[in-house]
Amino acid sequence: MTEQELIQGVLRRDRNAFQYLVNQYQKQVIKTAYYFLGNMEDAEDLSQEIFLDIIHSMKSFKKSSALSTWIYRITVNKSLNQVKKNRRKGISVRLESIFNNPFEKGRRQDAEPSVISAEYEEKEKRDLLHTAINRLPENQRIAFVLNKFDEQPYKQIAEIMGVGLSAVESLIYRAKMNLQKHLVHQFSEYQNT
Amino acid sequence: MHCTHFHENLFAYHEGSLSDEMHQSLKDHLSSCDACVRLSAEFENLSNLIDKERVSEPSPFVKTRILQRIESEFEHPETRKIPVFVRILQPALIASALLAGILIGSYSAKTGHASDDQLLSKTDHIEFLKTDLYISEMMDEDKILVLNK
């Protein structure tokens, strides 16, 4: 199915086109959402909303960019909105799920103490990393995540963000400087405790 | 070299994007600074975490869940896009119709009951009608008897 056929199929609400769309882009959508959210379950849930958005707004797709670039834009916007919502909800929900999830409880009882401590330490570091990333200004965050996690080349990031190549370079450089500063500060606090 | 110089070049040092000369000078600093060695190790861990996240794969069932969600959206579009005013207006109208029914019912129950006097007079009236009917029937029988004679 060509990109044009896919677009026409989605506009006709054709079931085969929906299947093809999900087959082609599910990995891209879920992984990008995951890099922003830092949680696979949340990313998978959000991907349903993202695909509905893609289908509903397909008629507004201007063919000035590739379909995948347009899907990236929708994914990034939805993910950033979700991060904002999660931030408003606070970390209480995540903590609650850890304490209430019977699978987690069972696993904790069966697991060796060293495994628990390694898991806990990794989770702590992952939280530290995502907290630092989420503190970056939005443009720096998008450019950094797409480059470092999603391994997108600068040219593709420039197209997704609708900015020039030099702007992307500058955003990624500033993101690294800010992250560096934040992480050094966090580590020095961590060492002192 | 000071630690701050190393802090300022953490990313570049780990990415290997520094000049050979600068890289060597930071390496020399690390050989004599335990704090920077620890920081460097922690930073390395974070880089590994990014690599780990990069290779994380979604659940194999997620595609089915997405397709089910899309199907339900287009099979029952009314479940998603019911206008707000309909969602509020519809139950409000039903509730007010029920309330009106109850009020009308209770009002007619109050005003629709006849008083005892009225009931008595109604019973009397029925009795009178019965008596009239009986008399007229008797008279008809008398007429028939007379005719037969």
What was the pLDDT predicted at A103?
45
d(CA A45, CA A56): 18
Residue-range domain boundaries for chain A: 1-89, 91-134, 135-193
Give the per-residue pLDDT at B76.
Answer: 66
Considering only CB atoms, B70 lies closest to which of A55, A122, A177, namely: A55
The interface predicted TM-score (ipTM) is: 0.78
- Please, is B12 exposed, middle or buried when counting C-beta atoms within 10 Å of its C-beta (0-12, 13-18, 19+)? middle
**Picking from A25-39, A56-70, A87-101, B117-131, which range would have the lowest pLDDT averaged per residue?**
A87-101
Measured CA to CA, the distance from residue A87 to residue A49 in angstroms comes to 19
pLDDT tens, residue by residue, B125-148: 677 777 777 777 776 666 665 656
Structure-token pair, residue B58: 């979604």
Q: Which residues contact A86 (CB under 8 A, 6 or more apart)?
A: A37, A42, A93
Smallest CA-to-CA distance from B36 within A178, A187, A130 is with: A187
A126-171 tens-digit pLDDT? 888 888 898 999 999 999 999 999 999 999 999 999 999 999 999 9
The full length of chain B comes to: 149
User: What's the confidence (pLDDT) of residue A122?
Assistant: 81
The model's pLDDT over B31-62, given as tens digits with 9 standing for 90+, comes to 999 988 988 988 888 888 888 888 888 898 99
pLDDT of residue A105: 45
The mean-pLDDT minimum among A103-107, A109-113, A131-135 falls in: A103-107
CATH (one of 2.40.50.140, 1.10.1740.10, 3.40.50.300, 2.30.42.10) for A1-89: 1.10.1740.10
Nearest to A22 among B8, B67, B74 (CB): B67
Q: How far is CA A79 from CA A38, A45, B126, in A?
A: 10, 11, 83
Nearest to B59 among A44, A148, A179 (CB): A44
CATH assignment, A135-193: 1.10.10.10
Q: Which residues of A touch B71 (CB under 8 A)?
A: 15, 18
pLDDT score, position A164: 96
DSSP state of A59: G
Half-sphere exposure of B72 (CA within 13 A, CB side): 10
> How many contacts (CB atoms, under 8 Å) link A and B?
84
Contact B58 A30 (CB under 8 A): yes
As a whole number of Å, the end-to-end CA separation of chain A is 58
Q: Which residues of B touch A (CB under 8 A)?
A: 7-8, 10-11, 35, 38-39, 42-43, 45-46, 49-50, 53-54, 56, 58-59, 62-63, 65-67, 69-71, 73-74
- HEC string of B75-112 equals HCHHHCCCCHHHHHHHHHHHHHHHHHHHHHHHHHHHHH
B65 or B92, which is more confident: B65
Cα–Cα separations (whole angstroms), residue A6 to A13, A54, A61, A107: 10, 12, 12, 44
